[in-house]
Structure 1
Amino acid sequence: MARSQESFGKKEREKKRLKKKKEKQQKKDERKAGPKNNSLEDMLVYVDEYGRLTDTPPDPANKIEIDAESIEIGVPKKAEEDEVPAEREGKVAFFNHSKGYGFIREQSSGEKYFVHINGLIDEVEEDDKVTFELEKGLKGLNAVRVKRVK
């Protein structure tokens, strides 16, 4: 006699599949029968002054008026005290013309500053005395507007 083609594992898998299908249909029916009178007020969420979500609207007495003209978008304008063009004196410590960069040692502090060939006004060589200004670059202060002193 031949054995049944359905093994215990196959029967269990079929039961699970039917159970899932039944649960899915039940959830679908619950969604359809759910409350249909959702109003806009039920769906709104407000943010309080501390940044938390709440279902109560904010108190109009606590409202702060903000002047739209006082809001600055972008980089703030430089003030006059920020633009002090302090021209400094120094000596070219190193300059590589093929690579287009070098370093200038300031006379007063002894600090070295990076200089790019685009920041030069006059042609410079090593050990030339120069005047320059400092500008903030990506990796620190850079010497710009470099002029050779005669």
Structure 2
Amino acid sequence: MLLEYLTRTAQQSDLVLPTTSFFEEEDLHVSFWHHWLSLNQKILPTFFEAKSDLQIACELTEKLNSLHPGFSNFSADKGPMEWIEEEISPQIKELYVLDSAFDLSMGPHKRRKETPSPTWKYSFSPLQPEISPQVESSSDFPYQLLTPQSLLKFQILAIIIKIVNG
């Protein structure tokens, strides 16, 4: 579990990894509610042992690959700005009128207007829910996890945790 705050749910967890706040990391910000792309710049030093999601992913990848070479092809040697630069594809550069990620350090960029294609149509695909067997809760484990994720992803996570813990 990756959290900025020790919530009641986190108190029930076996493993809690403290993460940085947006004041302590570099990242891109875009929203469904507005049409701006901005660069979040780090303005505070990291608090105690907190790590960014990217730093946790990099360190976990390095550990897993040291235990089982070739386990992951995630590029653990890149820094935040290298990831940000890669995320800004030619399409994003055109849409937000950017030459590079450096342009965002000068301020946010507004998405330019697009005219929809005359053949564009939107439709909802039918939902295909998966019904899982009911799991009984106990006083030791009072919470149940409801998620759209498949069971296979949980099995993979359990394998990764087992590998890391030995």
- TM-score (normalizing by structure 1): 0.15
Q: Quick check: which one's strand share is greater? A: 1
Q: Quick check: which one's helix share is greater? A: 2
Name the larger-Rg structure: 1
Bigger RCO of structures 1 and 2 (CA < 8 A, at least 6 apart): 2
